[in-house]
Amino acid sequence: MASYELCIKEIFCSFGARKHRTFGSFVDAYFDRINGRIRLKHIREEYLDRFGEKYRNRFDRLLDAEEKTTLRNMGKSVRSCYSNLITWRHQFAHEGQLPNNATFDEAVESFEVGKRVIRTLQASMVR
């Protein structure tokens, strides 16, 4: 999940730097400690809202389209795969428990499908 955190941070920091050098410095400082707060709710309500409604709406629209495409083509929900990964990681890191309802192969597949959230966020953060 650290890789997801780093990707999310990089997307926002790069966007800030492209907008303006001073804004980029502010965004770097804001995202210095993202600390695992990468649930979809956090991305939408805490991060995207700070950049403006336009970016949140674009993210929602693109994620909805990605969800439909992935469900149709793979039979997998992008949102569920992404959320499951975060839940499983939390169980393991904070409770010391392996997920009861997931195999290693399912975790790998969820990681791959969950990357679509990251790609969608990157596609959303353009001027």
User: Residue 40's domain spans which residues?
Assistant: 2-124
Q: The pTM is what?
A: 0.91
DSSP result, 24-51:
HHHHHHHTTT-TT--SHHIIIIIIIHHH
Instruction: Count how many domains the chain has.
Output: 1
Distance of alpha carbon 70 from alpha carbon 79, whole angstroms: 10
Q: What is the pLDDT along the chain (127 residues), one digit of tens a residue?
A: 688 999 999 999 999 999 999 999 999 999 987 877 899 999 999 999 999 999 999 999 999 999 999 999 999 999 999 999 998 888 776 777 777 778 889 989 999 999 999 999 999 999 8
